[in-house]
Structure 1
Amino acid sequence: MIDGKKVVAWTPYGRVRTYSILIKYLERDVRRGLIDEVWAFMNTDPVGQEADIAYAHELAERFPWFHLKHRPEGADLGNLPKQRYTGLAYREMTDPNAVYLRLDDDVVYLHEAAIENLVRARLEMPAPTAIFPIIVNNAIVSHFLQLCGKIPTEWGEVKQYCMDPNGWANGPFAVKLHELLLDHIERGAVEDLYLYQDFPIAPGTQFSVSCFASLGSMYADLPHGPGVLVPDEEESFHTIHHPLATGAPNILRGNAVVSHWSFFPQHAFLNGSDLLGRYRDLADKAVAS
């Protein structure tokens, strides 16, 4: 718990390759008393993802704080990609005394201060729909990192747009971002990437939701029912529709750092590098310490 609030870290789960890195940081922070429960919302296909499913079940058997969550009975969004089902997960997140931390299953680094700083920011600022950390490999975050002189503009300028051609689709740019962060981690200098301030994200600005903190009290009081998002697509709800409805900007927190592995246009460049192995080695050291 943090400041008397239960902390639940949850992930739309599907890929053992990267989640096997993330779980080590979550285990570290459970041991430190910062996270109470970890949920894997099973967003997997029964055929073709047998190894991914088996790994999640192994974790549930191994750790008493790790829980599998499933789509509601009878849920049917029609002929849509499975990513659209993740909005149904929020029907589980209606505890008014809980803070929920959403993490993509390819978040591959959590700075040791990230969870505590993000949760405290969430509690200090109840009005925003979402509080985001500094997400390395997120286009809008890269825009603000450039604004503060943390990322060279010589790598390609990034505009304040979630699918910016450099910040979202440029594989070599993503490689440089991860190399920059890994260098800071290995030198013990991650705090040098902190932003000078928190930045408001104007209501209606789409933002890639690889990681954010939200409040159970917000979901409990939704007008269409507890945890029922309208629209049901989680990124649109959290970054466009609900902020516009409330008039409160989302917030980019300047003192919490995480790393998001890859957007699909970047895959070929990142998968051809040694960067994921370096992240895995760091996670092994983090959970062992």
Structure 2
Amino acid sequence: MTPVILVTFAGRQKRMEILTQYVRRAMDLGIIDEWHIWDFTRSAEDHAWVSREFGPVRYMGAKVPYQPVGSVSRQASFRTSARIRHDLHITLTPHDRPNEHYEFVVGGWKNTHSAMRKIPREKLHNPERGDDTNLWSAPTPGVLSPGRANDVVLSLDAAGTPTLHVNNVTIGSWPELAFSAGASVQMRGGWGADLELCDAGAATRRYIGNPNEQMPYWQAYDYYATQLAAFSDAVFLKCDDDIVYLDIDELDGFIQFRRNNPHYFVVSANVVNNGVCAYFQQAAGSIPPGVGHFELPPGGFGGSLWESAERAVKLHDFFLGQGGRTLALPARVVDWTERQSINFIAWLGRDLVHMALPQGDDEHALTIGVPTLLQRPTAIYSDFTVSHLSFGPQERGWDPSPLVAAYEALMRERLFPADEKPQLALRAAG
């Protein structure tokens, strides 16, 4: 059976904790096989939460600073499998000397040399800080292979001397360094080299995009498109981090529909707080006029709902008052050829051949640009409902805490019987 992979661009902790409960239940039920969390966080607090909450790091963009990946001791070597073309950076920090950091550069200088240096703490997390004075260097031409994942082994002997092996070749051994108490290990790529740790194969795993990029999401699509062979049989789901309701009972039906209808390029869930969906929900009589008038956004983008917190709150309150009942569309499937918000969509892995997107507007590319090129429609699937908390313009001067609390209550009612407790207690809203 083809694997089902959920991709989420993370992550705002206050917005994402409810989604986390739904996804973990879907994974427990075997509906979703893998959850790929793309860390595009903008605050240190959210990055720390995502790092704690969501499994091992699998991928880092070339500008991502060092990330913890494990430890090494005299009893246990550090081993990993790293896909990188050049400039693999590894740092050891002795457990008994936490202010010292020793950096090993493997395949630097366009995969021609390797080096070891001591670096100060203030430079540790600057991925483009320039060269520091090397304590050791040696020619290592072609040490990293671009055609396979590179086997990396760091070991300590009885005296704590570190030895580094790459692809069964000894890069160096440094008796002047003593790590008898062991050391923590961090890794990164650098100087244009992305790093993938191929042994990080947990069902939930993290992918860290380059920080501080405008419209950074192309990095995720590009990653999957460049590994078409690995993902061509998968069904992909992509959802925003602020999906606060997900109809678990209908999720598998949505996936089966996606799998069985390959002529659509992307298929959207039936989304609460989505301009195009709201128009069709009202056209079908699912939203009464008293909740508001929801026009079809011009060209499928923007519109009065997208701009207004007040209209969004009224729509959310109506949906919550219905107990999460589906706001049906005029038909089970609505074919669509204009733009639509991609709050929760699905595509087939085979279509990654068309998804090496440039930096820019991924929503336009996935719902207008590529479908127009391929002359394939998109669709909205009525039976599977999710609720999307807010768009950027709706958030101006709006405190969503009461809605978050209400959606948390609905989540608990749906997922946890009265005699059960959630595995992860969400903090009280606000």
Q: Which amino acid aligns with 1:52?
A: D
Of 184, 187, 195, 2:329 maps to: 195
Aligned Cα RMSD in Å?
2.3
Higher helix share: 1
Instruction: Look up the SS of the partner of 1:167 in the other structure.
Output: helix
**Structure 2 vs 1, CA of residues 230 and 61 (structure 1 numbering), >3 Å: closer, same or farther?**
closer
Match of 2:307 in 1: 169
Match of 2:54 in 1: 60
**CA deviation after TM superposition for structure 1 residue 128, in Å:** 1.6
Mapped to 2, the partners of 1:34 and 1:22 lie a distance apart of 15
Pick which of 50-59 and 15-24 moved more. 50-59
Match of 1:159 in 2: 296
Match of 1:253 in 2: 381
**CA deviation after TM superposition for structure 1 residue 134, in Å:** 0.6
Q: Which amino acid aligns with 2:222?
A: R
| Contact 2:4–2:234 (Cα < 8 Å) also in 1 | yes
Match of 2:367 in 1: 239
Q: Which amino acid aligns with 2:47?
A: I
Q: Which amino acid aligns with 2:335?
A: P
Task: Determine whether 1:18 maps to 2:3.
Answer: no
1:66-215 map, 5 Å: 66-71=204-209, 81=214, 84-93=215-224, 94=228, 95-154=231-290, 155-161=292-298, 162-185=300-323, 190-191=325-326, 193-197=327-331, 198-202=333-337, 205-215=338-348
| Contact 1:88–1:232 (Cα < 8 Å) also in 2 | no
Q: Which has the higher contact order (CA 8 A, sep 6+)?
A: 1
**Structure 2 vs 1, CA of residues 235 and 110 (structure 1 numbering), >3 Å: closer, same or farther?**
same
Mapped to 2, the partners of 1:152 and 1:268 lie a distance apart of 26
What whole-Å deviation, never above 9, does each CA across 1:11-60 have from its counterpart, x for those lacking one? 11121111111010001101111000111111123xxx122112212223
> Runs (4+) of structure 1 moved beyond 6 Å?
none
What whole-Å deviation, never above 9, does each CA across 1:186-236 have from its counterpart, x for those lacking one? 6xxx14x2224111111xx221111100111110x23xxxx5125653112
Instruction: Look up the SS of the partner of 2:412 in the other structure.
Output: helix
Total equivalences in the alignment: 265
- Structure 2: gaps of 5 or more residues: 57-200, 418-430
**Structure 2 vs 1, CA of residues 217 and 232 (structure 1 numbering), >3 Å: closer, same or farther?**
farther
Of 383, 394, 403, 1:266 maps to: 394
Mapped to 2, the partners of 1:80 and 1:53 lie a distance apart of 15
| Contact 1:59–1:66 (Cα < 8 Å) also in 2 | no
Q: Which amino acid aligns with 2:328?
A: Y
**Structure 2 vs 1, CA of residues 245 and 98 (structure 1 numbering), >3 Å: closer, same or farther?**
same
- Structure 1: gaps of 5 or more residues: none
Mapped to 2, the partners of 1:80 and 1:97 lie a distance apart of 30
**CA deviation after TM superposition for structure 1 residue 272, in Å:** 5.3
Instruction: Look up the SS of the partner of 1:57 in the other structure.
Output: helix
TM-score, scaled to structure 2: 0.58
**Structure 2 vs 1, CA of residues 88 and 246 (structure 1 numbering), >3 Å: closer, same or farther?**
same
**Structure 2 vs 1, CA of residues 52 and 114 (structure 1 numbering), >3 Å: closer, same or farther?**
farther
Task: Look at both structures and tell me which one has the larger radius of gyration over its CA atoms.
Answer: 2
Of 340, 351, 364, 1:218 maps to: 351
TM-score, scaled to structure 1: 0.84
**CA deviation after TM superposition for structure 1 residue 92, in Å:** 3.7
What whole-Å deviation, never above 9, does each CA across 1:82-127 have from its counterpart, x for those lacking one? xx11122023433111111100011111012342122111112112
Among all aligned residue pairs of Structure 1 and Structure 2, give the percentage whose two residues are the same amino acid: 25
